[in-house]
Amino acid sequence: MALFSFKKPKDNSSEEKNWLGRLKSGLSRTHQQLASGLGDLFLGERVIDDDLLEEIETSLLTADVGIEATQAIIQSLTEQLARKQLANSEALYQALRNQLIDLLKSSAQSWTIPEQDTPYSILVVGVNGAGKTTTIGKLAKHLQNAGEKVLLAAGDTFRAAAIEQLQTWGERNNVTVIAQQQGSDCAAVVFDAMQAATARKVDVIIADTAGRLQTQSHLMDELKKVKRVMGKHEPQAPQEVMLVLDASTGQNALIQAKQFSEAVGVTGITLTKLDGTAKGGIVFAIAKQLKIPIRFIGVGEGLDDLQVFDAETFVDALLERDN
């Protein structure tokens, strides 16, 4: 059994400093977007009043936290201000931190891959360029490190490069990749891979799929077909439908999440490319509106830069005060 929950390294260890440093670095653009409006607050140089709350509201919106999540935060802060609970900048800072963490609680859930007689199956979906194949390679490594035997299915049969990329990850991690030639039926490839996984007593199978826009109904129907075919091999399959989202697309990522979820029942999200965007606040919009668990966040290109999502640590890295 593999349990993917956040485990903070011991205090003051080099491991903790290295890990936290990567996270802060990866979120630096979103942090800067927020800090541009909140810097005076963090330095304790502002009067706590309605004008300051308006500035916080603007900063949250420009970081793509979203209207619903931002309104919920500002309403709570306004109520606390009226009750004179925000006597100074430190109280306001802590109140904002708590609000952001509370928003993420519904999406910050441990992910357990249980022990079972049949392979646990993960279907990975998303639009072109979101980073599905790279995420699969990194996820396979995470699973191996947790003691799981993994098999990959090269279900993105539209692009020869995608098949080759997955095979490269397989070679790097010493993981078997089931693939057919470009243009093959994705559902057939995934079904063959599930049969192979069962025969080889594999613990986890991860199936790649071709990227598609959420508006392409015929391609979304193909995903539904893949999911049905997996269910024919194993009634419980797929146990996880993981949607990979590119954080730099901001609010469009929220639209993708809604429509993919309606089509194939998304059960978990991996948010990539947080290191390349100032729109990392989209995490809060997703949590507020969809409440789908966020499994991992990508904050760089390295294997270690795909990190298990933890609400409190994410918020602390995002709101880091520049001292």
Same domain, yes or no: 88 and 234: no
- Look at residue 6 and tell me if it is in a domain: no
Q: Give the pLDDT confidence score for residue 108 in this predicted structure.
A: 82
Same domain, yes or no: 172 and 56: no
Same domain, yes or no: 100 and 130: no
Quick check: 60 and 281 in contact, CB under 8 A?
Answer: yes
What phi and psi, each to the nearest 5 degrees, are found at residue 285?
-65, -40
Same domain, yes or no: 169 and 198: yes
- Look at residue 322 and tell me if it is in a domain: no
CATH number, domain containing residue 166: 3.40.50.300
- Look at residue 11 and tell me if it is in a domain: no
Q: Give the pLDDT confidence score for residue 63 in this predicted structure.
A: 85
Last residue in a domain, options 107, 129, 150: 107
Q: Give the pLDDT confidence score for residue 211 in this predicted structure.
A: 82
Q: Give the pLDDT confidence score for residue 55 in this predicted structure.
A: 87
CATH number, domain containing residue 101: 1.20.120.140
Output the CA–CA distances (angstroms, integers) from residue 56 to 51, 78, 131, 180, 316, in the order listed: 9, 11, 32, 52, 17
Same domain, yes or no: 87 and 149: no
Q: Give the pLDDT confidence score for residue 192 in this predicted structure.
A: 96
The tally of domains found in the chain comes to 2
Residue with tokens 């609970």: 85
pLDDT tens string 42-95: 666 678 888 889 988 998 888 888 899 999 999 999 999 999 998 888 888 899
Same domain, yes or no: 70 and 103: yes
Same domain, yes or no: 288 and 216: yes
Exposure string (b/e) for 233-252, b if CB count within 10 Å is 16 or more?
bbeebbbbbbbbbbbbbbeb
- Look at residue 2 and tell me if it is in a domain: no
- Look at residue 172 and tell me if it is in a domain: yes
- Look at residue 140 and tell me if it is in a domain: yes
- Residue stretches of the chain with pLDDT short of 50: 6-10, 12, 323
Q: Give the pLDDT confidence score for residue 40 in this predicted structure.
A: 60
- Look at residue 1 and tell me if it is in a domain: no
- Look at residue 166 and tell me if it is in a domain: yes
Same domain, yes or no: 99 and 122: no
Same domain, yes or no: 155 and 242: yes
Q: Give the pLDDT confidence score for residue 10 in this predicted structure.
A: 46
Same domain, yes or no: 201 and 186: yes
Q: Give the pLDDT confidence score for residue 215 in this predicted structure.
A: 66
Which residues constitute the domain of residue 282?
113-309
Last residue in a domain, options 57, 76, 107: 107
Last residue in a domain, options 42, 77, 107: 107
Same domain, yes or no: 170 and 272: yes
Same domain, yes or no: 265 and 127: yes
Q: Give the pLDDT confidence score for residue 37 in this predicted structure.
A: 64
